[in-house]
């Protein structure tokens, strides 16, 4: 396989090497770490003739289209107050995209609308009012028409329907008139018939558990039959769960993810005719495997399964794809090399090569020649040679629970007796971290560049590590969940990596709660704390009526009581494990920041925690960013936030 450079296209894409000649990572300014990547989410059109990507324009992410043959670039959106958050190709001429006003601390987009547009910027049509929760792509028609199979909450906000939508005219065909109701997911068969639905019906009363139901029918005129029903909390099965993923090309075999008879989800075949689970397709010993299936439309078969365990990987079942992967890995050494075939021209593929130290580069692969042509680096101003190594670790909490985590060690350091920042993810019921951590906020690399070891734990409650790991977090905020975080820091002390006298705790949302609770519960362990958009009081969290969780769901009156606790029945627990109410115990300096427009954790959490700290004579720096929600997005605010953190840690972790 040869490697060529598309010089003209590279120029159109602004391809460049590192823009600055820094000698060490410490020389890289804050702004360079937290600049938006010059291209992200790049994707080939169905025939491979064009590329679409997100690119920064006027301080926001906008949509650009690149013509591979002509070596030209067109900017097709120019939003100044919104970001294009995601997009998909409808055909070779048309795309649909969603816009958002920033992202939350877990990377989720704050959805604001949906549009479809031609690749030259013409024929714009908005679907925001009809697609109340956005356009979800189910399948392309592959016939050159502007039609696509999509999901929309068109009839009611509480349920998705499946449609064949003409993205130019706005005309649509409702495919699920006889929906089971309150559907959250549809699965089409290979003839584009909705055959499987996942629904979450209303609970009978506030004492009842939410149930998830999986429905099946043999054809478009057949009656719906319930295959499975099981209780869920926060959208996650409490015990055994079933998640339909995709039909095989025989339209009989359904691929499902299930943890029946096991702790972690795995992919199985399910025979829809016999109504029975079949062969195990793929499992992993560390993580839940719940999707990632890669199909070939041309060959009409499953090619492989992508997953992200100790590192992003793929299990190829197809020998040719496995051979191609090995060839790419030999050519592009030192990176994870992910390739996606153009759906209507499998000779062409987009390759994304990235690693823990390399923010990534896109390549165009032509299997017919064969050639591999470098296109563009996502962050050419960051030199991979200066970036810090990340590695996966596991440690045992004090009760024996095994905790997965990611450790970043400053490049050029001895790796011993280092100042430590423990970065706790939000949620807490999400998977927070991966070996590859290049996103809107590459915090670990930034902190490591300033000389700090960084631990990013997945404490109990984090998703993706099995049912036991999830369920063991119930009613453990500030308790066993907090132990998991402390025990990670102490593990690094025992290993000689961290200096116990120089450790700080950082995080947003639930991670902000953990940071605030850490300095309040364990005042002699932490040298400083930097909570942001933080839950600071469990009473407030449950009782404030104007948070989005309060006015959009009954979560605080139902599942919250099982997963966290109840402000009436558990008053003593809430008093003991609310940072605001334990402010008198705090010894370490606190940098506390909030978003003025945050509807998930309203600003009152920060206001009252600041008041409690000051009332007790504690050191607190408090910043509220105007117009920001549950996570900071505007460049000027992102830069200011990390400059403050840089100064704060410099003063407290000398």
Compute the distance between CA of residue 546 and CA of residue 565 in angstroms, rounded to an integer. 20
DSSP letter string over 642-653? HHHHHHHHHHH-
Q: What percentage of the chain exceeds 90 in pLDDT? A: 89
> Has residue 8 got a pLDDT over 60?
no
Strand order across the beta sheet in which 194-199 lies: 183-188, 194-199, 210-216, 225-233, 236-237
The two structure tokens encoding residue 638: 């992102």
Span 544-552, average pLDDT: 90
**pLDDT, position 21:** 66
Q: Is the pLDDT of residue 199 over 80?
A: yes
Query: HEC string of 204-247?
Result: CCCCCCEEEEEEECCCCCCCCEEEEEEEEECCEECCCCEEEEEE
Does residue 631 carry a pLDDT above 50?
Answer: yes
Number of helices and strands in the chain (H, E): 13, 37
* Helix, strand, or coil (residue 38): coil
- pLDDT at residue 18, rounded to an integer: 46
Bridge partners of residue 209, in order along the sequence: none
- CA 205 to CA 195: how far, in whole Å? 30
Of the chain, the end-to-end C-alpha distance in Å amounts to: 50
273 and 297 in contact (C-beta within 8 Å)?
Answer: no
Q: State the pTM of this model.
A: 0.94
Listed in sequence order, the residues at least 6 apart from 205 whose beta carbon sits closer than 8 Å to its beta carbon are none
Judged against a pLDDT cut of 80, whether residue 3 lies above it is answered with no
Indicate the SS3 state at residue 517.
helix
Domains and CATH numbers, the chain: 1-126+339-378 (2.40.128), 388-652 (3.40.50.1820)
C-beta separation of 431 from 377 below 8 A:
no
What is the DSSP code (8-state) at residue 290?
A: -
In 119-224, the DSSP E strands lie at 125-126, 136-140, 147-156, 159-166, 172-174, 183-188, 194-199, 210-216
Question: Is the previous residue joined to 428 through a cis bond, with omega within 30 degrees of 0?
Answer: yes
pLDDT at 204: 87
Cα–Cα distance for residue pair 436/355, rounded to 1 Å: 6
Collapsing DSSP to helix, strand or coil, 362 comes out as strand
Confidence of residue 69 (pLDDT cuts 50, 70, 90): confident
9-60 tens-digit pLDDT = 444 444 444 445 678 999 999 999 999 999 999 999 999 999 999 999 999 9
CB contact burial 359-383 (16+ within 10 A = b; e otherwise) = bbbbbbbbbeeeebbbbbbbbbbbb
Residue 131 vs residue 551, higher pLDDT: 551
In whole angstroms, give the CA distance from residue 503 to residue 650: 12
Whether the upstream peptide bond of residue 370 has omega within 30° of 0, thus cis, is yes
Q: Whole-angstrom Cα distance, residue 195 to residue 173? A: 16
Q: How far is CA 478 from the centre of its chain?
A: 24
SS3 of the chain: helix, strand, coil, percent, to 5: 20, 35, 45
């Amino acid at each position: 396989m040869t490697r060529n450079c598309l010089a003209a296209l590279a120029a159109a894409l602004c391809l460049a090497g590192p823009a600055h000649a820094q000698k060490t990572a410490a020389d890289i300014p804050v702004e360079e770490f937290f600049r938006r990547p010059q291209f992200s989410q790049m994707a080939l059109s169905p025939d491979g003739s064009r590329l679409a990507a997100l690119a920064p324009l006027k301080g926001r992410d906008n949509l650009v289209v690149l013509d591979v043959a002509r070596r030209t670039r067109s900017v097709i959106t120019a939003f100044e107050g919104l970001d294009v958050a995601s997009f998909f190709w409808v055909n070779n001429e048309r795309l649909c995209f969603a816009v958002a006003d920033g992202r939350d601390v877990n990377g989720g987009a704050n959805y604001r609308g949906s549009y479809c547009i031609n690749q030259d910027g013409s024929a714009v049509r908005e679907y925001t009012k009809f697609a109340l929760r956005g356009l979800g792509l189910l399948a392309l028609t592959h016939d050159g028409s502007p039609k696509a199979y999509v999901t929309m909450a068109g009839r009611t906000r509480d349920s998705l329907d499946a449609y064949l939508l003409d993205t130019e005219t706005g005309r649509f065909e409702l495919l699920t008139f006889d929906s089971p109701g309150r559907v959250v997911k549809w699965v089409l068969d290979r003839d584009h018939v909705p055959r499987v639905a996942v629904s979450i019906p209303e609970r009978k009363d506030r004492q009842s558990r939410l149930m998830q139901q999986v429905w099946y029918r043999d054809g478009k005129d057949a009656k719906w039959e319930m295959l499975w029903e099981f209780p869920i909390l926060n959208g996650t099965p409490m015990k055994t769960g079933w998640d339909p993923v995709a039909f095989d090309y025989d339209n009989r075999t359904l691929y499902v993810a299930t943890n029946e008879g096991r702790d972690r989800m795995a992919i199985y075949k399910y025979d829809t005719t016999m109504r029975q689970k079949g062969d195990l397709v793929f499992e992993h010993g560390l993580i839940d495997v719940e999707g990632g299936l890669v199909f070939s439309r041309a060959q009409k078969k499953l090619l492989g399964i992508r997953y992200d365990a100790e590192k992003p990987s793929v299990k190829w079942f197809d020998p040719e794809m496995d051979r191609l992967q090995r060839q790419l890995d030999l050519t592009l050494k030192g990176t994870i090399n992910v390739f996606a075939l153009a759906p209507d021209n499998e000779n062409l593929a987009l390759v994304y090569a990235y690693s823990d130290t390399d923010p990534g580069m896109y390549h165009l692969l032509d299997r017919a020649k064969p050639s591999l042509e470098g296109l563009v680096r996502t962050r050419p101003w960051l030199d991979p040679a200066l970036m810090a190594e990340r590695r996966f670790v596991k440690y045992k909490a004090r009760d024996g629970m095994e905790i997965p985590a990611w450790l970043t060690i400053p490049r050029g350091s001895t790796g011993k007796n280092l100042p430590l920042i423990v970065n706790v993810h939000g949620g807490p019921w999400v998977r927070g971290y991966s070996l590859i951590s290049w996103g809107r906020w590459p915090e670990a690399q930034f902190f490591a560049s300033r000389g700090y070891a960084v631990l990013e734990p997945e404490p109990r409650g984090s998703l993706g590590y099995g049912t036991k790991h999830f369920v063991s977090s119930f009613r453990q905020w500030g308790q066993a969940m907090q132990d998991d975080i402390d025990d990670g820091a102490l593990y690094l002390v025992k290993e000689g990596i961290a200096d116990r006298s120089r450790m700080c705790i950082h995080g947003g949302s639930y991670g902000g709660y953990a940071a605030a609770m850490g300095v309040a519960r364990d005042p002699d362990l932490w040298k400083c704390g930097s909570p942001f958009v933080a839950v600071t009081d469990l009473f407030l969290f449950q009782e404030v009526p104007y948070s989005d969780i309060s006015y959009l769901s009954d979560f605080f009156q139902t599942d919250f009581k099982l997963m966290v606790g109840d402000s009436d029945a558990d008053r003593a627990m809430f008093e003991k494990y609310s940072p605001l109410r334990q402010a008198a115990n705090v010894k370490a300096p606190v940098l506390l920041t909030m978003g003025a427009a945050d509807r998930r954790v309203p600003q009152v959490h920060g206001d009252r925690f600041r008041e409690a700290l000051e009332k007790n004579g504690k050191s607190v720096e408090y910043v509220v960013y105007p117009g920001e929600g549950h996570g900071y997005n505007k460049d000027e605010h992102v830069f200011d936030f990390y400059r403050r953190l840089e100064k704060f840690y410099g003063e407290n972790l000398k």
